[in-house]
Amino acid sequence: MHTLKRITTANIGKFSGRHRKQWTTKRHLKRKRHFAIYCHTDNFINNMIDQNLTAEKILNELLIGNELSNILNNPKEFPSELMEILSIIVALKFFKNEISYSDGDQIMNSVWGFWVTNDHYIENYPIPENVYECYGAFDAGEYYRTEDDATINPIEKYTRPLIEEFLKKLNKI
């Protein structure tokens, strides 16, 4: 039997049963279409509960090469808040040298590709500002500029300062 259930990304880790109250905040109510994953089957809910998907676990799944759409089981709604949390974690881990530039770039390209390759997401869900900013910071390190000396490392010149600025803006460092 198919049922429609809503789990906000804020309570994915807290959701431990079908009858547990869902956690909602004013922020979620204001922008609920940006912060909800609509689950059409009990199987999906159980899968999320069993795997206890968190941004940290998603990051690890992406690092071993799994596709974001498969990890999230192709949700109908774009999981904006979850992607924002993932972006912040990626930025922090890169800033602290816990992941390499290539890993951070791979993850952010996966998040960007997850959004941009789905017409439904593009038409109905703007890319969250934090996701866009983090993606842009990693994108800035992908290529050399003609105006830069050949010895300039674009990751150090562009990506690191942008990530630092991003994290400072969010009061994460």
At residue 97, what is the residue type?
N
Q: What residues have CB less than 8 Å from 9, skipping those under 6 apart?
A: 35, 36, 37, 79, 80, 81, 82, 85
Domain ranges of the chain: 5-169
pLDDT tens sequence across 116-138: 999 999 999 999 999 999 999 99
DSSP letters for 45-101 = HHHHHHHT--HHHHHHHHHTT--HHHHTT--SS--HHHHHHHHHHHHHHHHTTSS-H
How high is the pLDDT of residue 53? 57
How high is the pLDDT of residue 38? 35
pTM to 2 decimals? 0.68
3-state SS assignment for residue 39: strand
